[in-house]
Chain A
Amino acid sequence: MTRRAVLAGLLAVLVAGCGSQAASVAPPSIVVRTAPLATSLVTTQGAWAIAVMGGSASSDNNFWQLFVRPAGASRWSLVTPPAVADNGGLVAADGTGGTSLLVGFRPTQGLAFSPLAMSSDTGKNWTPGLLDAALADVPDALAVGASGRVLALLHDGSIEMAPTPATAAAGQWSRLTTLGALAASAPGRSCGLVALNAVSFGHNDIPMAAGSCLRRGVAGVFAESGGTWQAAGPALPAGFGGDQVQVLGLATPVLANTRGGDVALLLAGRDLLAAWWDGTRWTVSAPVPVAGGITGSGFGSGGSLWVLLGGGQAETIAGAGAPWRALPPAPAGTVTLAPGAGGGYDALAVSGSVLTVWRLASADWAKVQVIHVPIVYGSSS
């Protein structure tokens, strides 16, 4: 081989190398967004709200609190389940038929699993339970079906299921699927599933899961049936075909006479969307631009939902086909909203260990209650 041939070969290799480098495309990526734990939900027992209070998280002086406004009542009460430090966060789900509330403690510090607590008397008494794994850091990490089955989304993206609340309390859970398995399934691959953000029970009491997809324009909602997961929509309007879609919340509000079907809160690009499944088709709302991030969200009765955005912006939507309604700017310190009677809302504002309840009266917020929460500072450091 002549020197010229060697040089030509080297040049060819170099050119090929440059060519391949130029042709390479960065793999698609996504910054997974999830909803904050601050939320509220409505059951037949009443409205429940979760908010973090106290001092800084870095000094472990932040404690998550659970409040209830019993059905028919106008005042809120502190009903945080006792006996477990809840600095890691609380997750709640309405229990069987909405007659009870299941609460999960997210692990923190030296605790690696998630104790549970269940109440059927508006938080007066709690029955302990066990999930021997870490719950995910999302508000819809727990779900209880109409038949009593319980779903738990774990921190590692796995989904566990217990056949009844009693077995859940006894720590008898079984693995339903994992993020890896779901991502590798046909519907997971078609959306490029990278994270699971919510679990729920669907319209026919089937387990559902939702997450974040790499593939643009596809919403990752999945339904399990007979051991197989299937894509469950929704299909988004064509205008969102270029946006990555992440499901922030998924619920099936189970309320007597107000069954609203499956409801999902989605983030498509920089817009929030709500979507409703009525058993035959999805209805998708108009978008709401997200400017300053989401600080809270929750589902109400009849398929309604609310979101609290940066700067105190509060948006609600009553259900499928309804328009978004901007509430007056939430009072300073508002961490969560809770649906009230007649389409009204309460805003729960926090300052240290003081919770102030504001109620939307006509066009403005009125202070209706102040609760001093007896936080034991330093008790978790």
Chain B
Amino acid sequence: MGSTVTTAQSEGRTWDGGNEPLGASYGKLMMWFFIVSDALTFSGFLAAYGFSRFKFIETWPIADEVFTHFPFAHGVELPMYYVALMTFILIFSSVTMVLAVDAGHQMKQGKVALYMFLTIIGGLVFVGSQAWEWKNFIKGEYGAIETKGGSILQFVNKEGERVKLEDFAIKMPNQKEQLTRSGGDWFLETAPVANFSVAEVKAGFDANPNILVRTEIINTPATIKDAQGLNENKELNGIKQKFVLSRAESVKRMETANMVVEGANLRHNEYGSKLFADFFFFITGFHGFHVFSGVIINIIIFFNILIGTYQKRGSYEMVEKVGLYWHFVDLVWVFVFTFFYLV
């Protein structure tokens, strides 16, 4: 068992094995190699995200309008508070991890176990929060219309406040029913049918002259030049806000309606540019998977601490190694937080 921790006693015998480059043992150095390669992977993802975002910068969704949920606060728009809370939780679990490493250096088994336990709890709360965030993202809030050209039309009232489809769409006798596996041959299934059909949304839109279309295009010096049919009320079209159209232009755009979009999946989303949802699922999903793996590894190490494996080994280096990984995952989240929610 002692062989898993190497101690350098190789002065003057560089190539005889047991050497520790940069003062890091074999195991730790391997963790560093993994972290460097993983960092490159995440950098690649974030760079791809950046490129795609700049390509569609004029129609990219505004994060503040997408992530507005907070537990037990229904119907209240609270941009960012929840992700900020998640960030705190992850930073805090990073700190309990350093404290565990610190206690390990002093060979205090009880303290290492306690801090490791807190780290695991933090990780679980974070993964749970992310699942909740995904649920809200997938379910959607307001619903939108996708046009034949693939762009998203959202709906606002005269004051520019978002309106949900269910608030104005007129229910008609249902024409379309979702086919499930239990309803026909086992291999037959249709995509989920939206709560409203295009005809129902259109009927509601025609019956409510106060409903206006909000396009996915952001008001910038570059886009304002070609913008047509903007609402007469200038206050609805602030700088760096999405364009709100006049009623006449709204009616015209609604003629191109192709499908109703509620929430998000990999092909359609109600927020705007389709790639937005793809990157959101991919990058936060990949990060969440890292946190999840970290929690599993932490749990294994936690039990090893409890049964005294590392106490007998005389070193808590395993805690240090998983600590490196855990800090790295925290570091990645700091960047994801900035580029998905802040910038």
Partners in one complex: no
Q: Which residues of A does B touch, CB under 8 Å?
A: none
Q: Which residues of B does A touch, CB under 8 Å?
A: none
